[in-house]
């Protein structure tokens, strides 16, 4: 009988909690460095990210390729379900509407069309700001091949979309549009897990914009979560779209790497978040991997 080793990872799920992350500033780049090192207060934990035990087995490849009914707590079901969260944020996310995966109830996987793999899921999704939860069915299709291609997602969560945020978004838009000076912020959250209330919309915009990267980069072998906005800058624009330049840190839970991305995106209430450019920045050799936590 082969020895099976189970590793328990603390994973952010978009619901509660925060990972312990320590990142050292790179020489000459203090303005772009981030320092999340401890958990935020209870309110912030309830708002954004949480812990979920995920079990990675020694036969990881065999586990990923398993067909039929899946264990809802294991990587294959969790990775596919996490993609649904990123998809919802790219389609419907805003400074006042964020989606997080709360739990996976059931999952099924099968190979289709020779080079594709389809996951059928029953999950609970939470709209975090309104604290509204809905049970949704979802289908995630991973497209295999030499070139990275985004997973295709189908899901319907009508109840979560009924929360009307138009008035709040319009007020924020007018505030940002009429500011005499362009906005800027660093280290959201800071090293103590804290975010000033007036900075939370910038943090939320970073989560939505980062979901475009995480959706594009996700595969059956990855599990991405947002870690921090290292730097956020509002740019001048001559049209109705507010424009932002962000440096964000993403946590790839499988490799335990902190991945740096530069994002250029626009936002307005009618158009939502539109990512114009995504660029992965060079690997930070001085950054420490987040420690495993229970």
Phi, psi dihedrals of residue 64, rounded to the nearest 5°? -65, -35
Tell me which residue range forms the domain holding 138.
7-280
Phi, psi dihedrals of residue 54, rounded to the nearest 5°? -125, 135
- Give a yes or no: residue 292 inside a domain: no
Say if residues 267 and 235 touch (Cβ distance below 8 Å). Answer: no
* E-only strand ranges, the chain: 7-10, 53-56, 68-70, 99-112, 116-127, 132-143, 152-155, 184-188, 224-235, 242-252, 257-268, 272-280
- Give a yes or no: residue 286 inside a domain: no
- Give a yes or no: residue 247 inside a domain: yes
d(CA 80, CA 71): 12
In whole angstroms, how far apart are CA 135 and each of 125, 177, 263? 6, 37, 32
Say if residues 156 and 137 touch (Cβ distance below 8 Å). Answer: yes
Structure tokens at 198: 């007036």
User: Looking at the 3D structure of the chain, how many domains does it have?
Assistant: 1
Per DSSP bridges, beta strands 224-235 and 184-188 are antiparallel
Note the pLDDT of residue 238.
87
- Give a yes or no: residue 26 inside a domain: yes
Counting beta carbons within 10 angstroms of the beta carbon of residue 183, is it exposed (0 to 12), middle (13 to 18) or buried (19 or more)? middle
Note the pLDDT of residue 250.
97
Say if residues 210 and 232 touch (Cβ distance below 8 Å). Answer: no
pTM, full prediction: 0.76
- Give a yes or no: residue 1 inside a domain: no
- CATH number of the structural domain spanning residue 54: 3.10.450.10
- Give a yes or no: residue 11 inside a domain: yes
Q: Which residues of the chain have pLDDT under 50?
A: 1-62, 64, 288-294
In whole angstroms, how far apart are CA 214 and each of 17, 21, 63, 231, 242? 20, 19, 22, 18, 22
- Give a yes or no: residue 290 inside a domain: no
């Amino acid at each position: 009988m082969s020895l099976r080793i189970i590793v328990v990872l603390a994973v952010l799920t978009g619901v509660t909690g925060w990972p312990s992350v320590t990142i050292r500033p790179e020489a000459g780049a203090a303005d772009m460095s981030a320092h999340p090192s401890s958990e935020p207060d209870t309110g912030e934990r309830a708002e954004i990210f949480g812990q979920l035990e995920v079990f990675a087995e020694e036969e990881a490849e065999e586990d990923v390729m398993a067909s039929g009914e899946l264990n809802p707590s294991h990587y294959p079901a969790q990775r596919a379900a996490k993609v649904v969260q990123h998809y919802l944020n790219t389609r419907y996310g805003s400074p006042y509407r964020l989606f997080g995966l709360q739990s996976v109830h059931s999952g099924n996987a099968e190979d289709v069309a020779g080079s594709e793999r389809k996951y059928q899921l029953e999950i609970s999704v939470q709209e975090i700001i309104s604290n509204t939860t809905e049970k949704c069915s979802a289908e995630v299709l991973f497209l295999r091949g030499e070139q990275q291609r985004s997973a295709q997602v189908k899901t319907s969560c009508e109840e979560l979309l009924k929360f009307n945020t138009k008035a709040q978004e319009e007020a924020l838009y007018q505030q940002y549009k009429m500011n005499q000076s362009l906005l800027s912020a660093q280290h959201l959250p800071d090293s103590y897990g804290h975010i000033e209330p007036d900075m939370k919309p910038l943090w939320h915009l970073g989560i939505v914009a980062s979901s475009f990267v995480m959706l594009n980069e996700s595969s059956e072998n990855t599990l991405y979560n947002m870690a921090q906005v290292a730097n956020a800058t509002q740019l001048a624009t001559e049209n109705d779209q507010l424009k932002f330049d962000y440096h964000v840190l993403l946590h790839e839970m499988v490799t335990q790497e902190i991945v740096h991305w530069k994002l250029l995106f626009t936002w307005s209430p009618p158009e939502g978040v539109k990512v114009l450019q995504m660029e992965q920045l060079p690997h930070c050799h001085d950054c420490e991997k987040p420690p495993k936590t229970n």
